[in-house]
Amino acid sequence: MKDYANLSGNSGVMQYDSEDEYVIVMFTSGNFIGYNYDDYGKQTVEKIKELAEQGFGLNRFLNTLKQI
């Protein structure tokens, strides 16, 4: 798992791990949620990866997604 940079200083995301077709996110609550191509689509998962690498906006984006 990689530490999330949390450039805003108030994200609910702590860490993440990404592979080709999925991302796993660890939240400050200790919960883990996986996001994969099959459930969320390639475009969404790639956006999650992008935001995770940037260290900004990931928590806000994830809050807009339906939870499966």
7 band by pLDDT with thresholds 50, 70 and 90: very high
Helix-then-strand count for the chain, H and E: 3, 4
Asked whether residue 38 is domain-assigned, the answer is yes
CA separation for the pair 13, 64 (Å, rounded): 14
Asked whether residue 47 is domain-assigned, the answer is yes
Q: What is the pLDDT of residues 27-51, one digit of tens each?
A: 999 999 999 999 999 999 999 999 9
67 band by pLDDT with thresholds 50, 70 and 90: low
| Total tally of structural domains belonging to the chain | 1
* pTM confidence score: 0.91
Asked whether residue 68 is domain-assigned, the answer is no
Residue 21: how many CB atoms within 10 A of its CB? 12
Asked whether residue 53 is domain-assigned, the answer is yes
Give the structural domain span for 35: 2-63
Q: Which residues 6+ apart lie within 8 Å of 31 measured at CB?
A: none
**Coil, strand or helix at 4:** coil
**Coil, strand or helix at 52:** helix
* 50 bridge partner residues: none
